[in-house]
Amino acid sequence: MVRVVVADDHELLRAGLVTVLSSDGRIEVVAEAEDGPTAVLLATRHRPEVVLMDVEMPGGDGITATREIHATLPETRVLILTMFDLDDYVVDGLRAGASGFLLKTTEPQGLVQAVLACAAGQATVGLTVLDRLLDGVAVRPRDLKPHPGLTDLTERERDVLRAMTCGLSNAEIGDALFLAESTVKSHVAHILAKLGVRDRLQAVVVAHHHDLG
């Protein structure tokens, strides 16, 4: 069972999110918050697998709350809600420790799948959102030394990581590289461990920051 805290200051939208998530037997909404500080408090109290976090909330923004949750509850993943896929908050959210980004216009089934994927460490984002993230990374200076974890990757793991930078799912990577999905999943786990990152989104950013994509 994936336990979720939903944080959004719009009561009607929050109720809709809770209804959709609660309709799936694999998800339990354990608490609701209408601002960032309350989201942090409830996350600390309930220690959910996922916090669904709005960005702009009176009384405390979602980016600050994401940063605090990431710092104190490293096992809890934050899935940020954005209004537009080119939202300026996206890069800030990643730097704060978010594991994924979700448009508020996402269909109900897409919402459920995104939360389940986020809980499993397989959070994905749309290609336009990914482009925005990577643009934000690209403007920063490149590291002079290669990331130590990159040198530890096998050639096959590098192939998988390159495919991840294209936004491909495990199944799509398997098709592209002629690998079983279970084998891809194993490669992804090894990649995350070697790079010292928590999820595939952060691995993609490392890859682009070091020109591996």
Q: Taking 60 as the threshold, does the pLDDT of residue 117 lie above it?
A: yes
Q: Work out the angle between the directed axes of helices 155-164 and 200-209 (0-180°, nearest 10).
A: 100
The pLDDT confidence band at residue 125, using thresholds 50, 70 and 90, is low
One of 3.30.200.20, 1.10.10.10, 3.40.50.720, 3.40.1400.10 is the CATH number of 142-209, namely: 1.10.10.10
pLDDT for residue 146 is more than 80: no
Any idea of the CA torsion for 32, 33, 34, 36, to the nearest 10 degrees?
-150
Domain boundaries, the chain: 2-136, 142-209
The CATH architecture annotation of domain 2-136 reads 3-Layer(aba) Sandwich (3.40)
Name the pTM for this structure. 0.74
Confidence tier at 103 by pLDDT (50, 70, 90): confident
| Residue range 23-34, pLDDT digits in tens | 999 999 999 999
Q: What element of type H or E holds 172?
A: helix 170-177
Confidence band for 207, pLDDT divided at 50, 70 and 90: confident
Residue labelled with tokens 């980016």 = 63
**Tokens representing residue 45 in the block:** 């109290």
For residue 140, pLDDT beyond 60: no
